[in-house]
Structure 1
Amino acid sequence: MTVQDIIDQRGIQEVLHFTTNRGLVGTLASRALQSRHRLPEDKYLQHILHVNAAVRPEAGAFFDKSDNWLDYVNLSISEINRRYFEFSQGWHAQGDVWWTVMSFDVTVMTHAGVMFATTNNAYDLCLRERDVPGLNALFAPVIDRKSPTWKAYRGNRTANLPTCEQAEVLYPSSVSTQFLRRVYVREEEHQDQVAGWLREFGLPDVEVVWSQSKFLGKKN
Structure 2
Amino acid sequence: MLFQNEIKKRGIEYLIHFTPTINLYSILENDELMSRGKLENLDIEQFDILDYVQFTDNVRYDDKRYINLSLSSPNTFLFSKFRQKTQDDCTINWCVIKISPKHIYESDTLFSVTNAASHVAKSIGITGDLVKFQMLFAQNIPIPYGTRNNIADHYPTNVQAEVLVSDNIPADSILNICFENEEKMAEAKAAMSSFDTSKFVLDKEIFSPNRSK
Q: Which interval holds the TM-score relative to the shorter structure?
A: 0.7 to 0.9
Residues 132-171 of structure 1, C-alpha deviation per residue, up to 9 Å, x if partnerless?
11210101112233xxxx3421101000000001000000
- CA spacing shift, 1:42–1:158, aligned 2, 3 Å: same
Equivalent runs, 1:178-189 vs 2, <5 Å: 178-189=172-183
Q: From 163, 170, 195, give the equivalent of 2:164.
A: 170
Which residue identity does 2:205 align to in structure 1?
S
Displacement after TM superposition at 1:193 (Å): 4.2
Output the CA distance in 2 between the equivalents of 1:101 and 1:23.
12
Aligned with 1:117 (options 105, 112, 117)? 112
SS in 1 for 2:82: helix
Residue in 2 aligned with 1:160? 154
For residues 20 and 27 of structure 1, what CA distance do their matches in structure 2 show?
11
Is 1:212 equivalent to 2:210 in the alignment?
no
Q: Give the C-alpha shift of residue 106 in structure 1.
A: 1.1
TM-score (norm 2): 0.85
Q: State whether residues 155 and 211 of structure 2, in contact with CA within 8 Å, keep that contact through their aligned partners in structure 1.
A: no
Shift of 1:129: 1.8
Contact in 2 for aligned 1:116/1:169 (Cα 8 Å)? yes
1:33 & 1:173 partners in 2: Cα distance? 9
Other-structure match for 2:58: 57
Distance in 1 of aligned mates of 2:210 and 2:41: 34
Q: CA–CA distance in 2 between the matches of 1:184 and 1:31?
A: 17
TM-score (norm 1): 0.82
Q: 1:87 aligns with which of 78, 81, 85?
A: 81
**Which one has a larger percent strand, Structure 1 or Structure 2?**
1
CA drift at 1:57: 2.8
Contact 1:102–1:182 under 8 Å retained in 2: yes
C-alpha RMSD of the superposition: 2.4
SS at match of 1:129: coil
User: Which residues of 2 match residues 191-202 of structure 1 at below 5 A?
Assistant: 191-195=185-189, 200-201=194-195
Q: Rate the CA distance shift 1:186–1:86 in 2: closer, same or farther, 3 A.
A: same
Unpaired runs of 5+ residues, structure 1, are none
What does the per-residue CA deviation read over 1:21-47, in whole Å, with 9 as the maximum and x for residues that have no partner?
A: 11122211222211122222344x42x
Unaligned runs of 5+ in 2: none
The residue type paired with residue 185 of structure 2 is Q
Please state how far the C-alpha of 1:15 moved relative to its aligned partner.
0.5
Describe the superposition over 1:145-204 as per-residue Cα deviations: whole angstroms up to 9, x where unpaired: 3xxxx3421101000000001000000011111101101101212324444666633x45
